Amino acid sequence: MPVQGAELRGAYYDSYTIFLVVVACLLTWGRPLQGVKIENFTSSWADGISFCALIHNFFPQAFDFNKLDRSNRKQNYDLAFKTGE
């Protein structure tokens, strides 16, 4: 089975590279990303905004972070995971 990846900003990233980016982000625990402070593994991730902040930190041209709505959890999660694939 081939490794799937994503092309963002003219570069191709395989799934493993994207995984490493997410791990690196988690290691910056407590440092605000896009004004979002990640404090725990429950409420900090509940609305999908933290996932979007992680992805947007590395791929700022992928979507407009300022247009996200905290009340639309499904859309936020879908956007983050689709962009990170």
Tens of pLDDT, residues 47-70? 999 889 888 888 889 999 999 999
CA distance 85 to 67: 21
Q: Are 48 and 77 in contact (CB under 8 A)?
A: yes
CATH code of the domain in which 19 resides: 1.10.418.10
Question: How many other C-beta atoms lie within 10 A of the C-beta of residue 66?
Answer: 8
Q: Say how many domains are in the chain.
A: 1
Rounded distance between C-alpha atoms, residue 55 and residue 50, angstroms: 9
* Three-class SS state of 71: coil
The yes-or-no verdict on residue 11 having pLDDT over 90 is: no
pLDDT of residue 79: 93
The domain of 17 spans: 5-84
* Model pLDDT for residues 66-85, shown as the tens digit of each residue: 999 999 999 999 998 888 87
Question: What is the residue type of 34?
Answer: Q
Q: What is the dihedral of CA 32, 36, 40, 46, to 10 degrees?
A: -160
Q: What pLDDT, on the 0 to 100 scale, is given for residue 12? A: 58
- Specify the pTM: 0.64
